[in-house]
Chain A
Amino acid sequence: MLKRIVGVLATATAAVGLLAGTASAADLIRIGSFLSATGPASFLGDPEKKVLELYVDKINRDGGINGRKIELIVYDDGADAAKAGSFAKRLIESDKVDVIVGGTTTAATMAAVPLAERAEIPFISLAGAVVIVEPVKKWVFKTPHTDRMAAEKVMLDLKKRGLSKLALLSEDSGFGKSGREETLKVAKERGIEIVADEIYGAKDNDVTAQLTKIRNNGQAQAVLVFGLGQGPVVVTRNYRQLGMSLPLYHGHGVASKDFIKLAGGAAEGVRLPAAGLVVAEQLSNADPQKKVVMAFTETYQKQFQAEPSTFAGHAYDGLMLAVEAIKRAGTTDKAKVRDEIEKTKGYVGTGGTVTMSATDHMGLGLDAFHMVEIKQGNWQLAD
């Protein structure tokens, strides 16, 4: 019996130790993060986690920020919004971080937004949807381009090619749904007619039924697919199997080399809006982004032997926005850091040039997107 009690006590002490273990060293700058490193969004969260760890290490080796080292605390929310909320609370209440850079998915981000607002702590999200920064929330910022921007970019390209009738095929995931809504809105504003509006399941392994409907529609002059991960690959393959030849557009969610690899030859000729990061080498030397994205790509490749996806870039931008703001503020005072993030002007990142304001907490313009076309298994600038 005594042994058992001792055992229980030891376990309890160990448990308390684990919880308290991260609380020490006051002069560290504490950056907290919750990411979907595992689960259905791991293809986004995993590179984000790697990048945060890599660059925090790098900054610390170079002497830290204003002489203070960074401590990075990362939790894995498994793409579950309830868990994300729990971890956000843990970062705020228990780890007492100075700033949060994280939130892989829109749902995870939105679960943490009220917490960050209440605790008055700067929060830079890595998720896509417009709702995160519209309406503007005082303490919340984001780095990725929005789905609305992607839709705008596609519409502009359509107009340039003289096309006005679009068939839309979107995924039933959060990303696809939000993308669909924004596309419908933007199409109206830009005078593009949506002649078909089909939906497929994120886990479907055959989409020929929806594609056949679009093919037989007769009016469509181009097809836009809004999805993430494996869905767009299936769509692209089916598209070629059906011998469809209308111009095929994808959202910005497929801008990773994996997409080209998985879709194989079917990806030839696909157009999509993407950040300068994926076409780093083709950017003109006058482009201010060139230096930044080349350096990032090189560092990432050296460390992980893979090409960075745009999602890895979002994490880099988020971290750097926070680091720059802390540097300028000269303190980790939350209100001052927040003000400095909002004052970010002309920061050149992997996603584009960021200039924030009190009414714009993302700070990216439409010029942050390039229209790229897949040619011979590689990205090719098309604008």
Chain B
Amino acid sequence: MSSHRLAPLAVLAVVAALLPLALTNNFLLNIAIVAGFNAIVCVGLNLLIGFAGQISLGHAGFFGLGAYASAVLVSTYGWPPLAALLAGAVAVGLLAFAVAKPILRLKGHYLAMATLGIGIIISIVLKTETKITGGPDGMPVDSFAVLGFQAYGEKVWYWIVAGLLLVAVWAALNLIDSPAGRALRAVHGAEVAAETLGVDTAGYKVMVFVLSAVMASITGSLSAHYLGFITPSASDFFRSIELVTMVVFGGMASTFGAVVGAVVLTVLPQLLTAFQDYEAMVLGAILMLTMVFMPKGLVPTLSALIAPRRRV
């Protein structure tokens, strides 16, 4: 991996390591953890949106499936949490593959429509299968335990999430710099040109879609264990939109943009509670102004300002 990509990763690692010093209570740690979960999903989603040029409007569905796989298999059937997490990830991977394989042969934004549908279907199933999922009122989830180690409390979860985020970012950066990543960028830039050069465009798109869905599923499983209680609203259509917004807000095709977007949009609503009834309006205004004045997203625009000559 080239050094200009490694440096920001090191910065991220240092920030993650020092952050707990500033987060003096469990509530602040809790926000950091939720932001971290969102960031991991967004790093995966960004591979799809920013590099493969496809939009998914159903990632909250995959997140929810992972979460419920863990909740149901662990709490109801007594599976070990890690096995449940992997089972959920495999199931979501297969589902994503089955959806993407035929659709990505078509040109255009058919994937967006298919994911829109599948996300809504997942959400409806989770809401209506009351016997299994507890319905709209949700269900409790046992805590995460592996080989006698029990993940419990904000401090422990912070380090788990921080570690996973670093791994996710590192993996994403590596993927982008690999031959597969170059092929992906070619697909995004000029699909026909890529095809004439022998790039299996559909194949790469399917691969990235499945990868990002699996990342969402694993994150869903972990966040269900962390929160200890889940409801179908985790798989809501609006959650999917929120995730896409985070990626676009932070900056498409920028892995760190995805992280920054997720963190900002998780923390902002907590800061804006001071505005009381005007909270939603202020949040909307901030989003709108950012997109008007920084159409490329936060990180690409700011890094271009700081280092005008360097391309990110």
Q: Mark B47-66, 1 if CB is under 8 A from A, else 0.
A: 00000000000000000000
Report yes or no: B271 in contact with A82, Cβ–Cβ below 8 A: no
- The answer to whether A107 and B137 touch (CB under 8 A), given A18-B274, A80-B233, A85-B229, is yes
Q: Mark A57-94, 1 if CB is under 8 A from B, else 0.
A: 00000000000000000011001111001100110111
Report yes or no: B136 in contact with A110, Cβ–Cβ below 8 A: no
Report yes or no: B137 in contact with A172, Cβ–Cβ below 8 A: no
A54 proximal to B (CB < 8 A)? no
- The answer to whether A106 and B137 touch (CB under 8 A), given A82-B234, A90-B270, A94-B27, is yes
Report the minimum CB–CB distance from B221 to chain A (whole Å).
Answer: 15
**Which among A137-145, A173-181, A268-276, A363-371 touches the partner chain?**
A173-181
B160 proximal to A (CB < 8 A)? no
Report yes or no: B233 in contact with A82, Cβ–Cβ below 8 A: yes
Report the minimum CB–CB distance from B77 to chain A (whole Å).
Answer: 21
B76 proximal to A (CB < 8 A)? no
Q: Mark B123-145, 1 if CB is under 8 A from A, else 0.
A: 00001101000011110100000
Contacts of A106 in B (CB 8 A): 137
Report the minimum CB–CB distance from B312 to chain A (whole Å).
Answer: 18
Contact of A18 among B30, B137, B230, B271 (CB under 8 A): B271
A162 proximal to B (CB < 8 A)? no
Report yes or no: A172 in contact with B128, Cβ–Cβ below 8 A: yes
A38 proximal to B (CB < 8 A)? yes
Report yes or no: A174 in contact with B28, Cβ–Cβ below 8 A: no
Chain B residues bordering chain A, tally (CB within 8 A): 30
- The answer to whether A177 and B135 touch (CB under 8 A), given A21-B274, A86-B34, A172-B128, is yes
Report the minimum CB–CB distance from A40 to chain B (whole Å).
Answer: 10
Report yes or no: B279 in contact with A114, Cβ–Cβ below 8 A: no
Cα distance, A82 to B229, chains bound together (Å): 8
Chain A residues bordering chain B, tally (CB within 8 A): 34
Report yes or no: A90 in contact with B280, Cβ–Cβ below 8 A: no
B interface majority secondary structure: helix
Report yes or no: B28 in contact with A94, Cβ–Cβ below 8 A: yes
- The answer to whether A177 and B227 touch (CB under 8 A), given A75-B273, A94-B25, A94-B27, is no
Which residues of B in the span 132-175 have a Cβ within 8 Å of any Cβ on A? 135-138, 140
Contacts of A114 in B (CB 8 A): 140, 228-229
A382 proximal to B (CB < 8 A)? no
Report the minimum CB–CB distance from A121 to chain B (whole Å).
Answer: 13
Q: Mark A131-165, 1 if CB is under 8 A from B, else 0.
A: 10000000000000000000000000000000000
Contacts of A111 in B (CB 8 A): 138, 227, 229, 231
Cα distance, A177 to B274, chains bound together (Å): 36
Cα distance, A37 to B273, chains bound together (Å): 13
Report the minimum CB–CB distance from B122 to chain A (whole Å).
Answer: 16
Which residues of B in the span 11-55 have a Cβ within 8 Å of any Cβ on A? 25-28, 30-31, 34
Q: For the A-B complex with A85-B227, A177-B137 known, give 12 more contacts whose Cβ atoms are closer than 8 Å.
A: A19-B271, A37-B277, A81-B230, A81-B233, A82-B227, A86-B34, A89-B26, A93-B30, A94-B25, A107-B136, A110-B138, A110-B140
Pairs across A and B, CB under 8 Å, 14 listed = A1-B306, A76-B279, A79-B233, A82-B34, A86-B31, A89-B26, A89-B27, A107-B136, A111-B138, A111-B227, A111-B231, A114-B228, A174-B135, A174-B136
Minimum-distance CB pairs A-B, first 5: A174-B136, A93-B27, A81-B231, A94-B27, A174-B137
